[in-house]
Amino acid sequence: MYQLAPSMLSADFNRLGEQLALLEQCGCQWLHIDVMDGMFVPSISFGMPVISSIRKESGLFFDVHMMVEDPGRYVEEMKKSGADMLTVHAEACRHLDRTLQTIHECGMQAAVALNPATPLNVLDYVLDKTDMVLLMTVNPGFGGQSYLSAMTDKIRSLRKKLDEAGYRETSIEVDGGINSETAGLVLEAGANILVAGSGVFKGDIPSNVAQFQEKFNQRK
């Protein structure tokens, strides 16, 4: 399953409803929503009221990325707000296993995010509770950064790790510096869900989406 997950952080908030509708018209099924608290990452973005508001108008799959300290505090509220998948950072969870279990108990899919310098072995004892792994391909907190080339090998290593452990259906999402040029690189390495901000929202959205879809078609 290949998916493009446009990052709402890069959208034009004066035209947010219009742009989300356009994404659906272009065939997008996912929306990546970054929640930042100004502590785990320097930036502050948006929270439950914004997610609840757009949930009423959008049929997209809400892929909510929690870049916050102790994200387990917000699991139930995120479910009520309309999240379909909740991604938590291993670095921010005191009890990662318990947090993933709570996400599933609330009826959402659960994902673990890893910063660029975080080793893959932190996943060893939670893969049975993980529907997706998000590899940050930039240091989190700001949009518009360039892809870190060292992450290509990390993607490849994760794909091998998942396959050998019997978790071939677990998705690998990548986030940071993903555009029409780097898309082929990360897909070849084993990623199947691509988060793109300016790569989607900067310029002509339908044309940008089509370029990603062409990359997916080349992998099928």
Return the HEC string of the chain: CCEEEEEHHHCCHHHHHHHHHHHHHCCCCEEEEEEEECCCCCCECCCHHHHHHHHCCCCCEEEEEEECCCHHHHHHHHHHHCCCEEEEEHHHCCCHHHHHHHHHHCCCEEEEEECCCCCHHHHCCCHHHCCEEEEECCCCCCCCCCCCCCHHHHHHHHHHHHHHCCCCCCEEEEECCCCCCCHHHHHHHCCCEEEECHHHHCCCHHHHHHHHHHHHHHHC
Active-site residue, from 37, 63, 131, 175: 175
Binding-site residues from annotation for substrate? 7, 65, 141-144, 175-177, 197-198
**Given the residues 34, 37, 63, 131, the one annotated as active site:** 34
CB 178 within 8 A of CB 202: no
Annotated binding site: 7, 32, 34, 65, 141-144, 175-177, 197-198
97 belongs to the catalytic site:
no
The binding site for a divalent metal cation consists of: 32, 34, 65, 175
What amino acid positions are annotated as catalytic residues? 34, 175
